[in-house]
Structure 1
Amino acid sequence: MGVFSAIKNAIFGHPAAGQAAPQPAPVDATTAPAQARAVPTLTEAATSAAPVDVEGVLNEISADKGHPDLNWKSSIVDLMKLLSIDSSLSNREELATELGYTGDKNGSAEMNIWLHKAVMKALADNGGRVPANMMD
């Protein structure tokens, strides 16, 4: 499992993210009666699910941990610490590679700022609702 997957799973899998609606079984359109084919496909059901409130979940995680002094809204290191994910340079380098960072992977402020924004954008692209100020 990649670093981004660990971040996504920690947020989307948290109880505050809500329970996903049961997914219908796939239907073979060639043999199923027309009535059964009216059931949404897995893809349709997944895209119609309510988005996860990323900021809300992270606020709840922070509250659960006693509001640690972490600037997770803009710091990738603090976000990873909040989620109990290794925030070492090597793990951030791996995350940078996963998300397509092309700059120098030396742990610079530039890389870390880019990582935080890229993680938030990727969470939004994967069904999360993320405030615009956390992505730009």
Structure 2
Amino acid sequence: MKVLSFFVFLIVLSSASLTALAQEADDNTDFMHFDKMVMRFEGTDAHVTVTYDLDTFARMYVLAFGTRHLESSFENIFSEYEEAEVIQIGYDTAVIDLKDVSRLSDSYYLHDGRDLGTHIDSLDVIYPDGTAKTLTSVTRTPNIFYVKK
């Protein structure tokens, strides 16, 4: 019985610790390293896939309790986007939809760069025609334009 009580206490302590860590990590996600972000533009919207690594403690927590506490980290990263919706969070990948991130001007869509609130090792921007541009060591999305189809 003492062993079971110890494990319950450890789980409660771990749960509280990661929740507090996630809330403190508004601008600094120490428990999470962002390897790659792929931004695929379509009309005024963008579909984003983020690949990340978790530190050992965070990985154990996610394995035990799931990924729902990581959602706030992604909401913080995309806080400058008015309509960011976290679609899916996995153990090393997240999918986010960004609505109305570009505006139509004549026959072009214009996307104004925005701060991401963290450091991303690599950003792949994929235009609607399939061409891509890769940026390294980014903290904000670039200013871009693409042709309306």
* Coarse TM-score class (shorter-chain normalised): under 0.3
TM, length-normalised to structure 2: 0.26
Which structure shows the bigger proportion of residues in strand conformation?
2
